[in-house]
Amino acid sequence: MNILEKVNKAKEYIKSIDNSKIDLAIILGSGLGDIVKDIENPVIIKYADIPEFPVSTVAGHAGELIIGDLMGKRIMAFNGRFHYYEGYAMELVTFPVRVVKSLGVDKIIVTNAAGGMNPDFEPGDLMIITDHINMIGNNPLIGPNYEEFGPRFPDMSNAYNKELRLLANEAAKDLGIKIQNGVYVPVSGPNYETPAELRMLRILGGDAVGMSTVPEVIVANHMSMKVLGISCITDMALADNLEPLDHEKVVETANKAMKKFVTLVKEIINRI
């Protein structure tokens, strides 16, 4: 079965359970899943039940798709994502995004936990992603191109949609939520970075470092979707002052920032 057929199979399954018109999709990063609690009339679909769908293996990632109403919009929320470091092929890491677009949804919010490389940041800050530098060492579009999805050489000049970024910044301002803007650099992981690696990534122009999101963003752009990216800065990834880090700390800080994150994302959804 080729990717077009796999996407179609997953799409048909989801439509057989909920055939409503969906306004936007959101992918929830580590420790940022609480927003699903506010979704009204939720239809919960386990990843494991969706044909061709991978199943997430990381603690803090639930592995459920929730379709329902939030702030007057019909949304589909992916609680749990797939990372390259889990060993999935890029095609699987980005499979949910292909399915989203096949359902006719053209806006997606992608979120993650990230280390702050910009010294002006603080743990718990939220950062609107302005741009990225792909340092994963792979690309989900390598291989045969399916023109049904998009062009061989996709444009990335507005990868993080400018209007959505403006809207998100305004929403944060009106809510009195401190917001940062910056460049997200994904690496493959799964180890956290060495000080020398962080020094390099900062020199290259990164403000935050993580292990996700960019494959999905590349695929979303391939399919001409509008993307908004939000990072929760969970730790300071400073080359010259690097403290030991583990996943529990990342999830703990993300959880502490969750209320603010949920408030902001709900207001963004309200305004979209």
What's the rounded Cα separation, in Å, for the pair 187 and 184?
Answer: 10
- Chain position whose Cβ is nearest to ligand HPA: 115
SS3 69: strand
CB of 92 to ligand HPA, least distance (A): 20
When the beta carbons of 188 and 224 are compared against ligand HPA, the nearer one is 188
Residue closest to 179 by CA, chosen among 107, 121, 255: 121
Q: In Å, how far are 11, 45, 69 from 16, measured between CA atoms?
A: 9, 11, 18
CB of 81 to ligand HPA, least distance (A): 13
Q: In Å, how far are 24, 28, 55, 63, 211 from 187, measured between CA atoms?
A: 27, 18, 21, 23, 5
CB of 159 to ligand HPA, least distance (A): 20
Quick one: DSSP state of residue 85? G
CB of 195 to ligand HPA, least distance (A): 12
Name every residue whose Cβ is closer than 8 Å to that of residue 5 and which is 6 or more positions away in sequence.
none
- The residues with which 111 forms a beta bridge, in sequence order, are 230
Q: Which residues in this chain contact ligand HPA in the complex, by CB under 6 A?
A: 113-115, 192-193, 209-211, 234-235, 237, 245, 250
When the beta carbons of 154 and 189 are compared against ligand HPA, the nearer one is 189
When the beta carbons of 25 and 211 are compared against ligand HPA, the nearer one is 211
When the beta carbons of 63 and 123 are compared against ligand HPA, the nearer one is 123
When the beta carbons of 10 and 113 are compared against ligand HPA, the nearer one is 113
CB of 236 to ligand HPA, least distance (A): 8
